[in-house]
A = this chain, B = another copy of it.
């Protein structure tokens, strides 16, 4: 088996791949649910329900032809839906409290290996985001968590949400390289499959705790990727960093 040619740049999925959204959002939601007197609601299930609307929201955006909407706004709409499903009327809550609850997505903790792995990979490759998160969200997350991105790219910059082909192709174009010179790093087989269909190289990072041990919704897209690692530090080693 021949070694794959190394890419000229690495583009990272962020939610789930670099940061542990579930633990952070569960922790912040537990505090907020307590503050509104609803400690009876399971915070981890609430986090799952909040995030769970995400894929449907993306599909809805594309079908409706709705122009690009920052993920911050979608998160707010999904937060209010998750509350209503639990018989909490968001219009009765303090708006600034809801806004801060929503900014839990700006304060996601990196997985324990992420900062070291990215720092090592950055010594050899430009490292950029390729996320559906908006710039303000990703920038705040990076500053808080110490994620050393060379550039914050992705849906808001390309104008297309993953898994639209243009999200991947436009990112390579912005970097001035061919699609097959760019490698997507992601914990999600569906994302990697879409990137491969556009000609990108692919690196899988296993994050078995992303869904609290529950199976990933896109497991059926699993393929043999150019790289496969259990952490970003392991991937750095595989890529000679």
Contacts and interface: CB of A to CB of B under 8 A. Distances in A.
Interface residues on A, range: 20 to 34
A27 interface: no
A163 interface: no
Nearest to A125: B143
Contacts of A143: 126, 150
Contact of A135 (B70, B135, B149, B153): B153
Interface in A149-165: 149-153, 156-157
A150 B147 CA distance: 10
A161 B216 CA distance: 43
B156 A150 contact: no
A7 to B, nearest CB: 15
Contacts of A140: 126
A33 B176 CA distance: 26
Contacts of A70: 176
Interface string A20-37: 000000000000000000
Contacts of A149: 150-151
Contact of A175 (B136, B151, B176): B136
A153 B135 CA distance: 10
A241 interface: no
A150 B145 CA distance: 12
A150 B142 contact: yes
A174 interface: yes
Contacts of A178: none
Interface of A: 70, 72, 126, 128, 134-140, 142-143, 149-153, 156-157, 174-177
27 contacts: A70-B176, A72-B176, A126-B139, A126-B140, A126-B143, A128-B139, A134-B174, A134-B176, A135-B151, A135-B153, A135-B174, A135-B176, A136-B174, A136-B175, A136-B176, A136-B177, A137-B176, A138-B151, A139-B151, A142-B150, A143-B150, A149-B150, A150-B152, A151-B151, A152-B152, A156-B174, A157-B157
Given A135-B153, A139-B175, A157-B157, 19 more contacts: A70-B176, A126-B139, A126-B140, A126-B143, A128-B139, A134-B176, A135-B151, A135-B175, A135-B176, A136-B174, A136-B176, A137-B176, A138-B151, A139-B150, A142-B150, A149-B150, A149-B151, A151-B152, A156-B174
